[in-house]
Structure 1
């Protein structure tokens, strides 16, 4: 059995729970904790730091100096810090986020001129504005283009401090008095508009990135899973729930999902992350993998001879002894029928017709033996130390073949499954996250995966840097 596609055993959600730390992340449930506040703070910091503040020009008539023309140029933010962040899930409304005690210094240059038609005086002054700001965001989640999107346009900034410094306060007093009112009023409008706009942009980028990442994780080659959302998220006081299609597409065909047997009441509230995977999702994936010619494995050489060194209670047929001692023995095995699976509380059972051919790797050599047999395997999975662990038991067959399948065949398949599945999941970036105490529980018709989840700080920072630079 080749296992290039065995990442299909990786859990997939029809219902996912979202966490306001990312405004639209399909990887959290009931995660109202300090980690969320930390990640929220990082997003808000990124919004402040990456906001593009436009140059501002204006003019004002002054009785004693004539017409004053000014421009605020090269506005940048420095020394940014955030006191704390808090959020609240508002049932059937949205997510409230309060960011308090944002301290920042805005730096830039003022170019100004004043005078009349007879004479004009012009200057350029560097300025700094020390500020302390509170930020309130009332975000709403909605379904847009098949994805969960965030609307953070309800955004309010409150300035508790806005102190202007002109060239270290060494400018004449009347210049400062003129520009203090002009600049502080203008800065309130500009900072509020740009920060709120940038927060909405970051929220949309994160929403898009997370869903695209999830879709990519559940795709390989021509086989893809459509996880577009089907309706607006449901918001409760404890979690946010979204509904996804979960449809497998392959060569222009799309699977059909029957009514769900899953109910969110079956989830516990003591874990931060919940996935569930339905038989209605896995069976189309198995069919697509079969049609794509993936369930095949060739074993030869020392690997093959080592495989048959295992001692069995039943005597090995003489035919196998002669074949193993021949030149270049080759074992080919593949699935001769579409595998079918179903899940119970005992595990996930997979039934298929396995074909086995014993031959030689030399060309034009007839097969020594060919047979087909129905095999049923019960699989239970776990995950620890960033590695997938499978426990499989075989049913059916008898005598030597029964024992060979259980002690040789199943063990060999597992030896391929575990590292290849782990490597494939890591290619999609799973190893970058902290999966804490994962628990895989088979139920009737689906598998439930529960764990605590850690989003490493450096990943968020790196994502925001690459995305917003």
Structure 2
């Protein structure tokens, strides 16, 4: 259980199904997203170890201990220790270490705990028979060492904590609080203390391993849920075993969009470990090859359709433009039931450079008076545009900054009769797209993306100074964080109650 604070984020980063894992260098070209957790992150997580151990141990359950022993002059002694529970737990110091190509080392010193329960025993010979049931306490002081190993197994990144050691500096059993027992009780408590020590050691390590597996599944479910919205999901299967150095742990994921029983393919990724540094706590490397299929799925799912009516529509065109509004357009907007519908005609495409993420889109816009009359006036136009977008995340909100690099009108007419627009009207539409349309789209995307992320719980994390850095063909997100300890404690409470 001492491993849990550190493993929680690591597994959150590493969680994913893995049908097969190849060697690290071969895996790079199939990798759509990468997660790097650095040593400072492990230190922050390790600071929470004491509270997590306390929460876990207080909910732990230990089996009854039964046995018998032959005693000189007394005969066979039968005993049973029941209802063993931990009280008054205190934690000393916790240390964490990342080991090159190996594992994570976690050491917990001076774990002090009192075990309480009931003992039933009977002993005797043909001369004397005694049976009794008394309460007992076990005073203990333990050092705990766990060396979790991360590997590909059971269709996910798994944590093996079987390399677990407990060193008992003190373990004393007291019957009914008797600190000065007679010779018989001393003999009795000495061999029982040894038995209890073996059971406690076995059970604690077993609980740690069991809880690590539960946590791995829990974090994987959370990761998959975070990357799912409606019918759009993400295959975050790992492509190779996690790579561990003394400075960071790195995992490689497919990052394949799933939609309508179709899964995207990545086989020419541009990832290289040199693209990430070690200065921040947490890094995410995200490929254009992952983002483009995601946009395609959103297009197919009808995410890029918007209807605007009422005051929102009339306010939209109150922006001052250098060109005059066409008279027919003004007449359309004067109707109280006017409707503007905008949608993407084809799948938007993006590519990232150090200047930002460029997005190419072809969209259609139709403005009607809202009348049922098929001969009522309507404006329809199609536009091709490219914008360069830079993203920021601050105060738990997504912010997008878009710069227009190209706008052209492909088709534009008033109906009925498909009356073609004049050059002045085309200029008006181009300026309106730049100064009204694109800002309006951004105004929808910013809260929309924020809402999707917050729905999945991102706002519960203490994210510190995040940076979104566009590069050639990929984006790097780097940040520091404060560990959301209450989430893990709540997990332990629900899991172990």
TM-score by length of structure 2 reads 0.87
- Residue by residue over 1:70-102, the C-alpha shift from the partner in whole angstroms, topping out at 9 and shown as x without a partner, is 110000001111101112111111111111110
CA distance, structure 2, for counterparts of residue 265 and residue 209 of structure 1: 31
> Map of 1:35-434 to 2, 5 A cutoff?
35-116=44-125, 120-169=129-178, 173-365=182-374, 366=376, 368-394=378-404, 395-397=406-408, 399-434=427-462
CA contact (8 A) 1:93 1:140 kept: yes
Q: Secondary structure at the match of 2:63?
A: coil
| Partner-residue secondary structure (3-state), 1:393 | strand
- Decide whether the 8 Å contact of 2:143 with 2:166 is kept in 1: yes
| Residue 24 (structure 1) aligns with | 11
Partner of 1:14: none
CA distance in 1, matches of 2:451, 2:255: 24
Report how far residue 42 of structure 1 moved: 4.0
Note the C-alpha offset of 1:234: 1.2
Change (3 A) 1:159 1:367: farther
The secondary structure found in structure 2 opposite 1:168 is coil
Report the CA distance shift for 1:347/1:170 in structure 2 as closer, same or farther (over 3 A). closer
Q: Is the 8 A contact 2:36 2:251 kept in 1?
A: no
Taking the aligned partners of 1:21 and 1:293, their CA distance within structure 2 comes to 36
Cα RMSD of the aligned pairs, angstroms, is 2.0
Measured in 2, the distance between the counterparts of 1:319 and 1:74 equals 84
Number of equivalenced pairs: 452
Deviates more, 1:137-146 or 1:219-228: 137-146
Looking at structure 2, the residues matched to 34 and 348 of structure 1 have their Cα atoms a distance apart, in angstroms, of: 34
Rounded to whole Å, the distance in 2 between the matches of 1:207 and 1:448 is 25
Q: Distance in 2 between matches of 1:337 and 1:413?
A: 16
Distance 1:170 1:443, change over 3 A: closer
Q: Do the aligned partners of residues 46 and 229 (structure 1) sit closer, same or farther apart at CA in structure 2, a change above 3 Å counting?
A: farther
2: CA distance between counterparts of 1:220 and 1:381? 20
Partner of 2:414: none
**Offset at residue 131 of structure 1 (A):** 0.6
TM-score normalised per structure 1: 0.92
Deviations 1:205-240 (A, max 9, x none): 222222221221111112110001122211111111
| Runs of 5+ unmatched residues, structure 2 | 14-34, 409-425
SS of 1:169's partner is coil
Q: How far 1:46 moved relative to its partner?
A: 4.2
| TM-fit CA distance, 1:256 | 0.9
Aligned to 1:10: none
Counterpart secondary structure, 2:293 = helix
In terms of mean alpha carbon deviation, does 424-433 or 286-295 score higher? 286-295
CA distance in 2, matches of 1:119, 1:205: 50
